[in-house]
Amino acid sequence: MHKATCVALLLVLLVAVNLSEAEWPRLPRWPRYPRPRWPRFPSPTYPRYLTGKRDADAAMENEPLSSDEISRLARSDNDLLYSRSGINQMWILKNSKELLEHLKSTHFSRVHSIKAFDFSTLYTTIPHSKLKERLAKIISNAFTSKNGNRKYKFIVVNYDKTYFVKEKSDSENKYTERDIIQMLNFLIDNIFVVFGGKVFQQIVGIPMGTNCAPLLADIFLYSYEAEFIQSLVSEGKRYLASDFNFTNRYIDDVLSINNPKFADYLSSIYPSELEVKETTETNNSASYLDIMLSYDIDGHMNTSLYDKRDDFNFSITNFPFLSSNIPSSPAYGVFISQLIRYARASTKYTDFVLRARRLSDKLLSQGYVCDRLTSSLRKFYGRYGELVIHYDVPLSRMVDDILS
């Protein structure tokens, strides 16, 4: 495993398990707390923390889950390896925006296969023994060099930075490899569920609703994916390993491009306890997250927005009415934010216009004024022209196509 990936894991897990032995008995079940509403955060959207709250026992080390630093650290070493060897073993995605950026930066000579997969069961079937074993291995690798010698003695977590220490540290917030593994094992071994007035201990799987569950599952799966790719390389099968370069996974959703035999290797990649099913729609298209991917007869990749709610046989109210008790400026800002989303996802102008026209019709029916929507569209075109420049369509035509 790469050290940067291990560092990212440690940053995440230290937040969840940073409790001294004297405090352990206070944990009757998997730690989860209501998200507090602090006066300093007037927005209705609050940052999510691994401990479930900002002012936890591990407040000094408590990092928001949205921190880009975690993802940056996890990818830095892999990017270096990818550039040197041409082999990608980091399949983890943050969101669909990152997928679109990846697709734009990747020059496919020809797309001939798009496959999508889904873990039917993930959180509820992860064996505790394998989870602890895998995480312990990643943590150990973070403290040792490639030749197996001890490289670091502590990891120090401060307000502004986290770093490894080879010998001594005066910080009170330093942890050894053994400290982290013990705390993590305690967390996994002490998951309790109260049901029907009885207390049950969970011995398989992890709770889905906790803040750290997606991160634990993500790293758990990554350990198998990286191990699989590394085994192919060590066996001299670099060409086969490169077939997995265009593989992406967001938690329990997997996307594979230009690797039609990906399904044949599922049992070699992931543990037998996890069930993976293919969800590809057609031979040349698949929906992944909120993106529909397809390719034409010439092998050119096309993307458009996918929303499963489009298939509902009833109307969905998902945007504010202008008559509601909200300021008008943020209401019209919804129009701009959705245009940005549509433009990022749509390769073709026709797909962009279809979505934008449908949205404008809905907003007009909900009390929005056409002149202000037109003004918002002009503002979008001026500020985010790089998103629509490839359509080669002037503003006047776009206004007519969307709002006429």
Q: What is the CA radius of gyration of the chain?
A: 24
Residue 348 to residue 118: CA distance in whole angstroms: 27
**Residue 208 is encoded by which pair of tokens?**
């889905």
pLDDT at res. 183: 87
Q: At what angle do helices 395-403 and 370-383 cross, to 10 degrees?
A: 140
pLDDT value at position 54?
Answer: 52
Instruction: Give me the torsion for CA of 74, 77, 82, 85, rounded to 10°.
Output: -150
Q: Considering only CA atoms, which of 261, 18, 336 is closest in space to residue 156?
A: 18
Q: What share of the chain is helix, strand, coil (3-state, %, to 5)?
A: 45, 15, 40
pLDDT at 18 (0 to 100): 39
Q: Can you give the pLDDT at residue 333?
A: 94
Give Cα 6 distance to the centre of its chain: 17
Sequential pLDDT tens for the chain (404 residues): 444 444 445 444 444 333 333 333 333 334 443 444 434 433 444 444 444 555 554 443 344 433 334 445 455 556 656 656 788 889 999 899 999 998 887 777 789 999 999 999 899 999 999 999 999 988 888 888 877 788 888 888 877 778 888 888 888 888 888 998 998 899 899 988 899 999 999 999 998 877 788 888 998 999 999 999 999 999 999 999 999 999 999 999 999 999 999 999 999 999 999 999 999 989 899 999 999 999 999 999 999 999 988 888 888 888 889 888 889 999 999 999 999 999 999 999 999 999 999 999 999 999 999 999 999 999 999 999 999 999 999 999 999 999 98
60-64 CB contacts, 8 Å cutoff, 24+ apart:
60/157, 60/158, 60/159, 60/173, 61/14, 61/15, 61/18, 61/157, 61/162, 61/173, 62/15, 63/11, 63/12, 63/15
**Which token pair is 324?**
């509601």
Sign of CA dihedral 213, 215, 216, 218: positive
CA–CA distance, 326 with 341 (Å, rounded to integer): 22
Q: Residue 268 CB: number of other CB atoms within 10 A? A: 10
User: Residue 184 corresponds to which tokens in the numbers above?
Assistant: 């993590």
Residue 83's pLDDT is 59
Per-residue pLDDT, 47: 47
Report d(CA 318, CA 211) in Å as an integer. 26
